[in-house]
Amino acid sequence: MRIAVLGTGYVGLVSAACFAHAGQHVTCVDIDEAKISLLRRGKVPIYEQGLQDLIAEGRRHRRLHFVSHAAAAVSNADIVFIAVGTPTRASDGHADLSQVYTAVESVAPSLKAGTIVVTKSTVPVGTADLIEHLIRNICPELEFEVASNPEFLRAGRAVDDFLRPDRVVIGVESGFAAARLLTLYRSVGIENERILLTDRRSSELIKYAANGFLATKIGFINEVADLCEKVDARIGDVARGMGLDQRIGIRYLQPGPGFGGSCFPKDARALVKMGEDHEAPMRIMETVLASNDARKRSMARKIAAICGGTVRGKTIALLGLTFKADTDDMREAVSIPLAQALIDAGGILMAYDPVANGRAKALLPQCVRYCNSVAEAAEDADAVVVVTEWQQFAEIDFRTLRQRMRSPVIIDLRNFLNEKQVQRDGFKYFSIGGPRRQAFETMQPQTKSEKPLRTHDSKWVAADSLEEQIAAAE
């Protein structure tokens, strides 16, 4: 099939590269000519595992092209995917659809008869109907259809999530569109059993409801973690005890400093707005958002309390600035409000991120000093704070690190490090959600076989810790 993809962000690029990998002929369009010329030179502007190779393969087989003018791309396209940004509108929190409408207006006159226009961007319920009206007004005689096909890609895992999804959701109004999209996804290797065919509005809402629920799950475990600290319980075991109930599941029960990223906050806000607009208030979603925003700021108070009540004049090393590991995305990253709060409280901030130091400079307060290594950031530090769970932080030589610091304090906002190891190396270790060491040190260590865990494909594997269990389930 001939496919056009409008928008070369991580959704558009990953979708295009994977469709080309599946043998389709794909043309990507972006109005950002600099980005297109970069892509044409084989450079990939985003950090996404496996994407560079897929794009190189698509270009090598001449199945993947990049253009900055939409007309040529869509004039013989069987399917046109809209994968442009739908950021939160600053004025009122609604999803800003201006890029979607601009893209549709730019391609409508060039669409060929029988084309299916598909929204892959996250769009409020009813957007496909509006796009249909818009195209109908521009081309009254054209035979076409609009469908919804939201994506569920996680940054850092986008290629894997696209090629091996839990499910593909397709919202259509006719069997014709359904058949063509099923054929397309079958070419990607996704069998019909993992494809949910529904109407467009349900498809649009599934995306928001899924992200809203995942954000709610995280917000819930974060508040349970705070309670654990007050009642001297251990969040790792509480989360494990919850998650072994298959109705709950252990994924997205990892406590942290609050969720960020380009999707959860944006989609949760849009869901709240949809609820307001349609007199179906999403009160739980509102509360999750308020709780999450407050949590990000409260981490500064936690750090101050650990540093003797204040960070004034203290040097704090922030390890990890991106909103999560394995991405360079800083959108809604915890590090942004956290750095501001620590600076406001008089802290001296050193910061290190494996990939996003440059990107962070425009987002964090001016006085933050960026370092090129953990060691440099920890020099004379009163505390080191793990903000993002980059694997390299688990491999730090803490004994050596301790020599460089003014005081051996590690604050692990992701419960990511090996507490015993860090303590053996002479650190005071602080985590989220209560002590992580075994409450009863005398407890006979269970043999691995006594610590079974049902993974998502119902194999039984033994696992020692929640982190290992989550990794097993990933």
Which residues are known catalytic residues? 263
Where residue 69 falls (left for φ over 0; alpha for ψ -120 to 50; beta otherwise) is beta
Contact pick of 12, 236, 261, 354 for ligand UDX (by CB under 6 A): 261
Report the residue number, 74 or 285, with the smaller CB distance to ligand UDX: 285
Q: Which is nearer to ligand UDX, 138 or 284 (CB)?
A: 284
Closer of 58 and 261 to ligand UDX (Cβ): 261
The tokens of 355 are what?
Answer: 């990939």
CB of 156 to ligand UDX, least distance (A): 7
Tokens of 36: 């297109």
User: Which conformational region is residue 232 in: left (phi greater than 0), alpha (psi within -120 to 50 degrees), or beta?
Assistant: left
From candidates 27, 115, 127, 211, binder to ligand UDX by CB under 6 A? 211
Q: Which span sits near ligand UDX by CB under 6 A: 39-47, 146-154, 282-290, 396-404?
A: 146-154
CB of 177 to ligand UDX, least distance (A): 22
Near ligand UDX by CB under 6 A: residue from 147, 182, 263, 396: 263
Rg, C-alpha atoms of the chain: 24
Across the beta sheet with 383-386, what order do the strands follow?
Answer: 369-370, 348-352, 315-319, 383-386, 409-412, 428-430
Q: With contact defined as beta carbons under 8 Å apart, do 180 and 115 qualify?
A: no
393 touches ligand UDX (CB under 6 A) = no
**155 is a site residue for ligand UDX (CB under 6 A):** yes
At closest approach, how far in Å is the CB of 312 from ligand UDX? 29
CB of 263 to ligand UDX, least distance (A): 3
Minimum distance from CB of 112 to ligand UDX (Å)?
Answer: 30
- Checking 364-367 for CB contacts under 8 A at 24+ apart, the result is 364/321, 364/335, 364/336, 364/339, 364/340, 365/339, 365/340, 367/343
Q: How far is CA 389 from CA 22, 148, 267, 303, 435, in A?
A: 33, 34, 23, 17, 19
Closest CB 41 distance from ligand UDX, rounded Å:
27
Q: Which of residues 235-254 bind ligand UDX (CB under 6 A)?
A: 252-254
- From 94, 154, 359, 402, residue interacting with ligand UDX (rule: CB under 6 A): 154
Tell me how far apart the alpha carbons of residues 190 and 150 are, in angstroms, rounded to a whole number.
15
Eight-class DSSP state of 326: S
208 binds ligand UDX (CB under 6 A): no
Cβ-based nearer residue to ligand UDX, 253 or 417: 253
| CB-nearer residue toward ligand UDX: 124 or 260 | 260
The verdict on 324 binding ligand UDX (CB under 6 A) reads yes
| Planar angle of CA 453, 456, 458, nearest 5 degrees | 65
What percent of the residues of the chain are helix, what percent strand, and what percent coil, each to the nearest 5? 45, 15, 40
Q: Nearest distance from residue 338's CB to ligand UDX, in Å? A: 13
**How, if at all, do strands 348-352 and 315-319 pair?**
parallel
Q: Choose between 31 and 210: whose C-beta lies nearer to ligand UDX.
A: 210
The reply to whether 152 sits near ligand UDX by the rule CB under 6 A is yes
Choice from 19, 144, 264, 352 touching ligand UDX (CB under 6 A)? 264
Number of residues that bind ligand UDX (CB under 6 A): 19
410 is an interface residue for ligand UDX by CB under 6 A? no
Nearest to 177 by CA among 128, 127, 122: 128
* Minimum CB–partner distance for residue 260 and ligand UDX (Å): 4
Cα dist from 394 to 319, 322, 397, whole Å: 11, 16, 9
Residues 156-195 that bind ligand UDX (CB under 6 A): none
- Residue 155: closest CA among 71, 262, 237, 236: 262
Q: Minimum CB separation from ligand UDX for residue 266, in Å?
A: 9
Contact segment (CB under 6 A) with ligand UDX among 255-263, 305-313, 337-345, 446-454 equals 255-263
Burial of 151 from C-beta contacts in 10 A (0-12 / 13-18 / 19+): buried
Stretch that binds ligand UDX, among 151-159, 188-196, 338-346, 460-468 (CB under 6 A): 151-159
The site string for ligand UDX over 293-322 (x = CB under 6 A, - otherwise) reads: ------------------------------
**Burial (CB count within 10 angstroms: exposed 0-12, middle 13-18, buried 19+), residue 375:** middle
Main-chain phi, psi angles of 454, to 5 degrees: -85, 120
Any contact of residue 431 with ligand UDX (CB under 6 A)? Answer: no
Candidates 81-89, 91-99, 148-156, 455-463: pick the segment binding ligand UDX (CB under 6 A). Answer: 148-156
Task: Work out whether 216 is an interface residue with ligand UDX (CB under 6 A).
Answer: no
Q: Token match 């035979």: residue?
A: 143
Work out whether the CA dihedral 216, 219, 225, 231 comes out positive or negative.
negative
**3-state SS class at 315:** strand
The residue ranges that bind ligand UDX (CB under 6 A) are 151-155, 211, 214, 218, 252-254, 256, 259-261, 263-264, 323-324
